[in-house]
Amino acid sequence: MQVLIRKLQQEDSKNLRALKLESLEKEPLAFDTSYEAANNWTESEWMEIMNDYLSPSKSIFYVAESEEYLVGFAYMRFFNKEKKKHIIEFGTLYVKHEFRNKGIATKLFEKIIVDIRENHPEIIKIQNSVYEQQIEAIELYKKLGFKVYGEFEKELYVDGKYYKQLAMELFL
């Protein structure tokens, strides 16, 4: 199985939307947006989101592709405040279940790091947040060098339960 890691392109819109919905449905604790809310986005709302994903001044977005299908994605968002231009926020990372444990998430992350180092030398830190139930994600982020620097109690509310969020950071 060959997997290509590449930058998001406009023509990925339909496939990315389907993968985004899958990620929200299968991993409801991993994202602040619910599947129900995202499933109701109008075409206009989705195009606005896509434009943000594709905007080099707003984000860095990579996808993993296998046999012309998107199997994963990762992106980071730039802060638009002058005093925080040295930080980038890890927006999200998702790999389809059947493609996990094959190094794809690590390759996506590494591609973004190369992009940051080559094109954004002002960035010295990546911020990330993850919910404590996301054990695999926490292990991955720690393997990539992230360290936990804070906890937020009752940060997410899903299906009648509150969840703790961990704040993580990685210095480049």
d(CA 31, CA 42): 19
Q: Is residue 33 part of a domain?
A: yes
| Sheet hosting strand 59-66, strand order edge to edge | 4-7, 59-66, 69-78, 87-95, 125-131, 161-171, 147-158
Q: What percent of the chain has pLDDT over 90?
A: 91
Q: Is residue 32 part of a domain?
A: yes
Q: Is residue 47 part of a domain?
A: yes
Tally the domains of the chain: 1
Flag whether the pTM goes above 0.75. yes
Q: Is residue 100 part of a domain?
A: yes
Q: Is residue 39 part of a domain?
A: yes
d(CA 58, CA 129): 19
CATH of the domain at 34: 3.40.630.30
Q: Is residue 140 part of a domain?
A: no
Range of the domain at 97: 4-123
When pLDDT is averaged across residues 21-48 and rounded to a whole number, the result is 93
- Are the C-beta atoms of 100 and 108 separated by less than 8 Å? no
User: Is pLDDT at 18 greater than 80 in this prediction?
Assistant: yes
When pLDDT is averaged across residues 62-91 and rounded to a whole number, the result is 95
Kindly indicate the confidence band of residue 156, based on its pLDDT and cuts at 50, 70 and 90.
confident
d(CA 38, CA 46): 9
Per-residue model confidence (pLDDT) at position 159: 87
